[in-house]
Amino acid sequence: MRRGTFQWMKSVNKSIILNKIRTNEPISRAQIAKDTKITPPTVSSIVKELIEQEIVVESAVGDSKGGRKPTLLMINSRNFYIVGVDAGPKTVDCVLADLSGSIIERSSHQLELPITNNQFLNVLKSAIRTVIKSFHLDMEKIVGIGIAMHGVVNVETGTSIYAPNLNLSAIPIKEELEKEFGLIVKVENDARAMALGEAWFGNHGQTDSMLAVNLGRGVGAGIVINGKLYHGAFDIAGEIGHMMVDMNGEVCACGNRGCLQTLVSGPAIAHRAEKELGLDLGKIAGEDVFHLATEGNRAYVKILEDTGTYIGMGLTNLIHIVNPEKIVLSGGVTNAKQFILEPIRGAIAERALTPQAKQTEVVITELGKDATILGAVALLLVELFDLV
């Protein structure tokens, strides 16, 4: 789907009608007019154009309330596709998904470090080409490409400002991919993309505000308010891993001391186990702590329970700032949910200011590893349905 199609759709009434169909399908023209207060002739005219564009289809016939039975409308989900990419830090994972978020094809390319900007861009292009060719898809059926990139991203220009785990900076992702494929490209920080994926596909119901936190090799978050990502003034909203919780704590990769990340990331959990249990440095990984805990080793169980408490303390700070309806946790650390989830909830219940805040819902993602890449897909759904 080329850029002109998006420009054609950028009108208030079209956006309202398209989203009404998306959220209430199957639905009749008459019901759309009634719910949106748009005149029936205008609804009919816009629906006719949407059908001609093949983004909306007529489906089953509805019940009659006197007179002819109405024809119902649905989004033509399987007629258009989106390329979603989860880029870095070890692999470039790529999917082709339809408008409902169903994944049709996948590809994965390993990143060999050290790597240059050009080499990284070549891997991106190769991964995208592979997933498109494997489905033998007409390029006109592709809405665009969404990229979830780790590190700091300039969303407006689609540039990776700094990708710490790749040791790269100033990567012109949007510019290069739009030139290569002739499609619209949206680039977002991976944690924020994950939050958008949860909002669209995580089965969380209607929530006005949600915080999604990724707990893995690093710690990041995305804030979704009224269906939209919150970026902050300079695109660093959600960098909660660098929230200082102990001014005398361990030195973080960012150079500061006592960041939340130094206590609750996978590598930090391993380091705390080494330090507290007197182990040789570098001899254990976060996964080892988890496996030893599942075997009933009480010392490692306590390491993970303490991790849950630290996470809960960090989340309590965020509850006091953002006050979200729900917090969704994902990432490798959440594999230890049987050890960390109750301490997280307990820390919030103990420290939050009000009874309502103490009861803030905290859950583990149901999307698993796909949360981020589905977020990359959702970047284009937001664009398509004009929710920006």
Query: Is CATH 1.10.10.10 the right assignment for the domain spanning 3-75?
Result: yes
pLDDT, position 207 = 81
Residue 82 has pLDDT above 50, yes or no: yes
Contact 281, 303 (CB under 8 A): no
Q: How many CB atoms lie within 10 A of CB 139?
A: 11
Nearest to 142 by CA among 380, 310, 375, 334: 380
Query: 356-367 pLDDT, tens per residue?
Result: 999 999 999 999
Domain ranges of the chain: 3-75, 79-196+372-384, 204-365
Q: What are the helix and strand counts (H, E) for the chain?
A: 14, 16
Q: Please, which residues bridge with residue 328 across strands?
A: 212, 363
Residue 1 has pLDDT above 60, yes or no: no
Residue 204 has pLDDT above 90, yes or no: no
Equal CATH topology for 3-75 and 204-365? no
User: Could you tell me the two tokens for 229?
Assistant: 């990502």
Look at 71-75, 161-165, 270-274, 353-357 and tell me which has the smallest mean pLDDT.
Answer: 161-165
CATH of region 204-365: 3.30.420.40
> Three-class SS of residue 310?
helix
> What backbone phi and psi angles, to 5 degrees, belong to 65?
-110, 35
What is the rounded distance in angstroms from the CA atom of residue 333 to the CA atom of residue 181?
Answer: 36
pLDDT, position 2 = 53
Average pLDDT estimate for 314-340: 95
CATH of region 79-196+372-384: 3.30.420.40
- Please provide the average confidence, as pLDDT, over all residues in the chain: 90
Residue 355 has pLDDT above 70, yes or no: yes
User: Could you tell me the two tokens for 34?
Assistant: 């009634």
Contact 143, 82 (CB under 8 A): yes
> Three-class SS of residue 219?
strand
Residue 73 has pLDDT above 90, yes or no: yes
To the nearest whole percent, how much of the chain has pLDDT over 70?
94
* Tokens 């059908």 found at: 51
